[in-house]
Every structure is written in structure tokens, then in C-alpha cells.
Structure 1
Amino acid sequence: MRFYRPVGLAELLLIYRSGMRRFPPRLPEQPIFYPVLNEPYARQISRDWNATSPEGAGYVTAFDVEDAHAASFEVQQVGARMHQELWVPAEALDAFNSHIQGRIRVTAADFGPCFVGQVPTAFSLRGKDARAQFEALRDIHGYNGMDFHGEVTANHEAVFAHFPYWEQVVASDTPGDRELLAAIRKVWMEAFPELPLGLQPGY
């Protein structure tokens, strides 16, 4: 069964660190894990809640759970017809994660004006926000291919989280920016072929 979950930047990075296979444990003040049943509902939360939060980012994730395990949780309707979700107790999340089939995918992203992103602590992207990182990568790509490859791979968490932002908000329609996005994707595919970069179809 297919589910969707809108997440912020911090939660996305935790999912990424699991190889895009697991959702992180709930915090003490979060007794329930809420996957939703349709993408429009997830997009609504991502746009209206996550993107307007202090993080300024909402990512919609899609994932598949074994039907038999998903059926052990009752579907809850919490508003209009599309507002359907599961209520998975925090103590059941580990087992729920073990029934996820394949990888968790990022299918959509929304960004608010306050978005800073993950600020790296190493190499040429150190101390830069998401927009400044793209500008730095543009400069590096222009003069040193080896340094460019090293920067993308060394700061892969930031690159993964920011690529949708660069595509949607920062990159212009100029050939140079499109070429830069393609170059980032090429390095990524060589270094991390098992983890697709950018937005993926929900299929």
C-alpha cells in the first residue's frame, strides 16, 4: 500500500542517513506517526505547514508498505474526504519501518522565503546557506572539475536536501545554471547510484 508523509528538513536528513529506508523514532512529545493516504493531502501539509515553519522547507515523501501490515492500522479521516491517514503508535514505528518495501522517495518540495537549508561545516561550502552553496558550486565547476566532484560528494547531505530548491528557486533558465544542475546530477549518479537525486515520481 502506498503512503505519503510530509517532512521538514531535519527529518528528511534523518531519513537520508538511513539510506532512505526508515523514518526516525518519534520524540517523547510525539506519540503518533502519521503517514497519509494521498499526495494532495501531503502536499497541503508540506506547503501550508512545513514550508511556513522556521525551517522554511517541506518535502513530500512516498513509500510502500506491505499490504498486510498496513491493514493492521485503521484509516482515520480527520477532515475532508482527502484527509485520511494512519495513526501508528510511536512504539510500533520500528516494526512499521521494517515493512517498508524499497526506498522512501521525495516526490515534491516546497520552500518558504526564510529557507536557509543545511549549512555545511567543511570545505568550500562551509558556512554557506543553500543559495550561496549553489553559487559556490557554480564557481568551482567553472575552474576545477576535481574540486567540484569533491565538494558535491563531501557535502552530499546538503546537496541531496537542496537540489529541489536549486531546481525550483535558485536556478534560472540560463544554460549555465541548467548545465550546473546536470553536472551535479552526473557526479551524484557516479558517487551515489543507489540514491536518486531530486524529485522522483510517486509511482
Structure 2
Amino acid sequence: MILYRPVGHNELALIVESGLKGFPPRLPDQPIFYPVLNAGYAKQIALEWNTKSDTFSGYVTRFNIDNDYAQKFNREIVGGKVHEELWVPSEELSEFNQKIVGHIEIISAYFGTGFKGSSPNLGLGNLSANAEEYLQLMIGMFECNLMDFRGAVVINYKSVFCNYAFWKQFDVSLLKATREDSREKLLPAIKDAWHSNFPGVALPTESEIYEYEAKQLA
């Protein structure tokens, strides 16, 4: 069964820490984990709710759960017919995560004007850089030393992953560069370094979008 879950930036970071294999435990006041069955519903929450949260960002995750296992949970309609959720008791989330087939994917992302993103962990000097500043640091390293650049992608894989969807939407013409073609080559170079080291793991908004999902996300 294909399911979707809208998440903010902090939850996305925890998903990355799991190896894109599971969702973080619920808080004590959150008795239910509720993925949804419609990509459009997930987009609505990510866009209208998560982008107004403290991280100003919302992501639609997609994942595949063992179909027989999923049948044990109640389906609940919480609005219109597209607002269908699968209600998983929080104490069963650990087992639920074990039933996820493959990786959790991020198929769309939305950002508010206050978005800061994830800072780099190592190797880029400014460890408090926001997502835009981070990209400027990356283009500087890309122009200086390609091997160090590729290494920075690997050692900062969590923050690179979490920022990637924003970087894809960012106007790279705003970046300072010493070579004319650096801006257009930067994201493809990040993507190449990623897939050379993490084969089979799609970056955010890189996964195939199916026809029915495209209509829901439009």
C-alpha cells in the first residue's frame, strides 16, 4: 500500500537519521500516527500548515507499507472523501516502520519566507550557515577543489539531503561565482556526488511522480 505523510524540516531530519527507513516516535500527547492515502491531502497539510510552522517548510513523503499488515489499521475520513487517513496507535509505530518496503521518498516540498534549513556539519567553515549561505559555500568549494566538494557532500549527507529540495527551487543566479558555468553545474554535481556514494537513494523531489499523483499535487 502506498501512503503519504506531510512532515516539517525537523521530522525530515529524523527520517534521514533513520536511513529513510522509519518515522520518529510520537510525542506523549500524540497517541496516533496518521499517514494519509492521498498525495493531494498530504500536499494540503504540508503547504498550508507545515510552511507556517517554526521551520517554514513542508514535505510530502511517500512510502510503501506491507499491504496485508496495513489492513489491520482503521481508515478514517476526517473531512471530504480525499481526507482519508490510516490511524496507527503510537505504540505500534516501531513495528509499522519495520513493515516499510524500501526507502521513504520525498516527492514534493514547499517553503515559507522564513525557511532557514539545515546547516553543514563539517568541512565548510561556517557551521551556522542557512540553506542559502550553505549553497554559496558549496559553489565556492566546487570551483576550488572538486574532490573536496564531493567529500563535503558525503560527510554532510544529512544536511545536503534536507536542503536539496530548497536548493532545486532556489534562483542560482543569485550565487556569487568566478566561472560562468559554475551555477548551472552546481546542482548536477551535488546530485552526481550523492548517487556515486548512495546508489538507489533518491534525493528529495527526484523520485518518479505517477500520473495520478501529478494530478493530486498540481
In 1, the alpha carbon distance for the partners of 2:51 and 2:21 equals 23
CA distance in structure 2 between the partners assigned to 1:141 and 1:147 by the alignment = 8
Q: Is the 8 A contact 2:121 2:159 kept in 1?
A: no
Residue 106 (structure 2) aligns with: 106
Query: What's the secondary structure of 1:87's corresponding residue?
Result: strand
Structure 2 CA distance for partners of 1:27 and 1:133, relative to 1, 3 Å: same
CA contact (8 A) 2:122 2:152 kept: no
**TM-score between the two structures when normalised by the length of structure 1:** 0.94
Deviation per residue, 1:43-95 (Å, 9 max, x gap):
00000011111101111100111111111112100011111101111001111
Q: TM-score, normalised by structure 2?
A: 0.88
Q: Corresponding residue for 1:32?
A: 32
Supply the AA of the counterpart residue of 1:196: A
Aligned position for 1:72: 72
Moved more, 162-171 or 190-199: 190-199
Tell me, yes or no, if the aligned pair for 2:120 and 2:134 is still in contact at 8 Å: no
Which deviations, in whole Å up to 9, do the C-alpha atoms of 1:135-182 show, x marking residues without a partner? 111111111112211221121111101111011134349853231000
Q: 5 Å matches for 1:21-170?
A: 21-124=21-124, 125-170=126-171
Asked if structure 2 preserves the Cα contact closer than 8 Å seen for 1:62 and 1:202, the reply is: no
Corresponding position: 1:196 with 2:202: yes
Indicate if the aligned counterparts of 2:8 and 2:50 stay in contact, CA closer than 8 A.
yes
**Alignment pair present for 1:179 and 2:185:** yes
CA–CA distance in structure 2, aligned partners of residues 111 and 136 of structure 1: 21
For 1:175 and 1:43, how far apart are their aligned partners in 2?
Answer: 34
Gaps of 5+ in 2: 175-179, 211-218
Aligned length: 203
Q: Secondary structure at the match of 2:199?
A: coil
Distance in 1 separating the partners of 2:182 and 2:81 = 45
Compute the displacement of 1:202 (Å): 4.6
RMSD: 1.7
Instruction: Give the equivalent residue in structure 1 for 2:214.
Output: none
- Asked if structure 2 preserves the Cα contact closer than 8 Å seen for 1:51 and 1:112, the reply is yes
Structure 1: gaps spanning 5 or more residues: none
With over 3 angstroms needed to count, the CA separation of the structure-2 counterparts of 1:172 and 1:44, relative to structure 1, is farther
Percentage identity across paired residues of the two chains: 41
Provide Cα deviations, 1:172-203, integer angstroms capped at 9, x if missing partner.
49853231000001111112214222311255
SS of residue paired to 2:49:
helix
The one-letter amino acid of 1:100's match is I
Q: Which residue of 2 aligns with 1:19?
A: 19
The SS at the match of 1:55 is: coil
Given that 1:4 and 1:61 are in contact with CA atoms closer than 8 Å, whether structure 2 keeps it comes out as yes
TM-aligned CA distance change 1:104 to 1:121, over 3 Å: closer
Query: What is the distance in 2 between the residues matched to 1:197 and 1:159?
Result: 9
Q: What letter corresponds to residue 18 of structure 1 in structure 2?
A: S
